Chains A and B, each alone.
Chain A
């Protein structure tokens, strides 16, 4: 608890840099709060940088799915970049990797928003 995620702009894309554990009772709710705050501010392009994430559990995955759905309902786009191998594996086994737009470089990700 108490961790702060980095937030910065790259053009009109808000980049949220997650870090540490995105797990139940730890980073899961903080992540949701941060993303919902960005959506509440009217942000339409959100890029989640996962490079600093060490672990994600089913609760963190569930929150990520919920944030994606909320963003879509608000007419915003939420994309992911820099997934560590283990985080990618966790999304792959539940076939969620096909749901999210995932990029390996920030330039490519930002350009994809159009």
Chain B
């Protein structure tokens, strides 16, 4: 995996679903430090939970010996979150559209859609030592229009 930037808050976790709660708690801490309100924290948290769940399930295939990296960085008006796994890699071009009629009633395949919906920039890359690195950015100046703000 690529080493995180200096100064970022970094977690290295074993691939267990219960660690998602630890990530959520860390996000809460970072949001308080950065002055991010509860509404925005909720939607960022949803994207982050999806990313970590994907890393555990699809990246590391639930192998607790493999680690998940979560990094909280960025500065000023941008929060940058990085989630890395130690899996075999991932082709984002193969993601199906959960809004397509043939996919609407499928029981899986919505996680990355939610990440892209709730964050402003999302990119995938290969780690230096393999695995997938998901980088998500949130512009803290914006509000998430139409989500819980009627």
Number of A-B pairs, beta carbon distance below 8 Å: 69
How many angstroms between the C-alpha atoms of A89 and B150 in the bound complex? 10
Tell me whether A26 is interfacial, beta carbon within 8 Å.
yes
- Which of A25, A86, A95 meets B17, CB within 8 Å? A25
Contacts of A86 in B (CB 8 A): 42, 147-148
Interface-facing stretch out of B46-54, B85-93, B124-132:
B46-54
Most buried by A among B18, B57, B114: B114
Closest CB in chain B relative to A18 CB, distance in Å: 17
B-binding segment of A4-12, A43-51, A61-69: A61-69
Complex CA distance for A61 and B107, rounded to whole angstroms: 8
- Asked if A94 is at the interface (CB within 8 A of a chain B CB), the reply is yes
Which of A34-42, A52-60, A74-82, A101-109 is the interface stretch? A52-60
Q: Is the CB of B98 within 8 A of A94?
A: yes
A residues bordering B, Cβ < 8 Å?
23-26, 55, 57-59, 61-63, 65-66, 68-69, 85-86, 89-90, 93-96, 99
| In the A-B complex, the 6 residue pairs with the closest CB atoms | A25-B17, A62-B107, A58-B110, A58-B111, A66-B107, A89-B147
